Amino acid sequence: MNKEERFYRSLYRIRRVEETVARVYPDDKIRSPVHLSIGQEQVSVGICEALRRDDAIFGTYRSHASYLAKGGDLQKMIDELYGRDSGCCRGKGGSMHLVDPAVHALGGSAIVSSTIPHAAGWAYGQKIRKTSNIAVALFGDGAIEEGVFYETLNFALLKRLPLLFVCENNFYAIHSPLASRQAPGEIAEKVGAFGIESQVIEDGDIFRIHDAVSTFAGRMREDPAAGPFFLECKIYRWKEHVGIGEDFQFGYRPESELSPWQERDSLTRLADTLPPETRQRIESEVDEEIACAFAQAEKAPYPEDSALTEHVFQNHV
């Protein structure tokens, strides 16, 4: 599979999974809140296509895209959303806590900014063990307002960690626009004050994102003292903050903001570059995989009541 086909397959798969979540959600069988990444998938795919299996990614509560892009098990994800025992967190975590240690998709959390120091801890472990693996901390523009973000920037630079910070800047934290929350100045400039090299991708282009991550990752693998680095990807959330609907009627953002981002949607753009038979093959394979995963999740057993207190401490893993 060439690069365009791989990128398209991954983008299409994430988009269709989330569209399927949105379609079945009104049945109320998925009891987990869902934060969809529709329109933002290219950030996760651009990043993960530049990573190796042994590199790790840490996400947020909006992590369907990064979990799948990193190679996380689809069946275990859907089972998790349905609260089933076969889910990646045994049905106890839901959509906000997707984790697949086999591919180093090392989790999301409902608490803004909380996985950024986890990524630094993991990167520190790699540094001590002298591997060439790198960590990616993926977070939103709201995470920039948390103290732990700055603490982690400091520690990562102090220890020269193999860590790439990626801010997925969709300009809003729930219903609050960036300008109402942050003092003037570009995010990358604020990070620059720490002496961390950064790059900004303004248009959400998947190839630019991929190139930037490949370059940063390559530099960190070659030189253990090269990191950390910071990448800001501007992007736009098409759906409401949490849930499956649209929210332009609330008036906190104008609908006119959406169309320029839809016009440069990486999924549609890539679809237009592929031969029709290639595109059709990819789409039918992925559609079948997704239909099977949802059908199987609906039939999978729930955890036993006794599972409530299991896997709380490490000896239960």
Ligand X SMILES: Cc1ncc(C[n+]2csc(CCOP(=O)(O)OP(=O)(O)O)c2C)c(N)n1
The residue ranges that bind Mg ion (CB under 5 A) are: 140-141, 170
* C-beta separation of 267 from 11 below 8 A: yes
The site partner of 165 among Mg ion, ligand X, none (C-beta below 5 to 8 Å per kind) is none
* 67 binds ligand X per the rule CB under 6 A: no
Name the segment binding ligand X (CB under 6 A); options: 9-17, 134-142, 210-218, 257-265. Answer: 134-142
Q: Which is nearer to ligand X, 173 or 233 (CB)?
A: 173
Q: Name residue 137's beta-bridge partners.
A: 58, 165
State the residue for tokens 């400091």.
154
Give the tokens for residue 256: 């006119």
Which among 118, 107, 95, 104 has a CA at the least distance from the CA of 25? 95
* 24 binds ligand X per the rule CB under 6 A: no
* C-beta separation of 258 from 238 below 8 A: yes
Q: Which is nearer to ligand X, 57 or 112 (CB)?
A: 112
* Interface characters, 173-192, with ligand X (x: CB under 6 A): xx------------------
Give the tokens for residue 125: 């472990």
Q: Judged by CB under 6 A, which of 106, 112, 134, 196 binds ligand X?
A: 112
Burial of 170 (0-12, 13-18, 19+ CB in 10 A): buried
* Interface characters, 147-176, with ligand X (x: CB under 6 A): -----------------------x-xxx--
Smallest gap from Cβ 112 to ligand X, in A, equals 4
Smallest gap from Cβ 119 to Mg ion, in A, equals 18
Smallest gap from Cβ 12 to ligand X, in A, equals 22
Smallest gap from Cβ 214 to Mg ion, in A, equals 25
The site partner of 143 among ligand X, Mg ion, none (C-beta below 5 to 8 Å per kind) is ligand X
DSSP secondary structure string for all residues of 232-274: EEE----S-SSBSS--GGGSSS-GGGHHHHHHT-HHHHHHHHS
Smallest gap from Cβ 299 to ligand X, in A, equals 32
Question: What 3-state class would DSSP assign to 83?
Answer: coil
* 141 binds ligand X per the rule CB under 6 A: yes
For 25, half-sphere exposure in the C-beta direction (CA atoms, 13 angstrom radius) is: 17
Smallest gap from Cβ 262 to Mg ion, in A, equals 18
Residues in contact with 193: Cβ distance below 8 Å, sequence separation at least 6, in sequence order: none
Which among 175, 110, 101, 164 has a CA at the least distance from the CA of 135? 164
Smallest gap from Cβ 307 to Mg ion, in A, equals 34
* 308 binds ligand X per the rule CB under 6 A: no
Q: Which residues bind ligand X (CB under 6 A)?
A: 62, 110-112, 140-143, 170, 172-174, 241
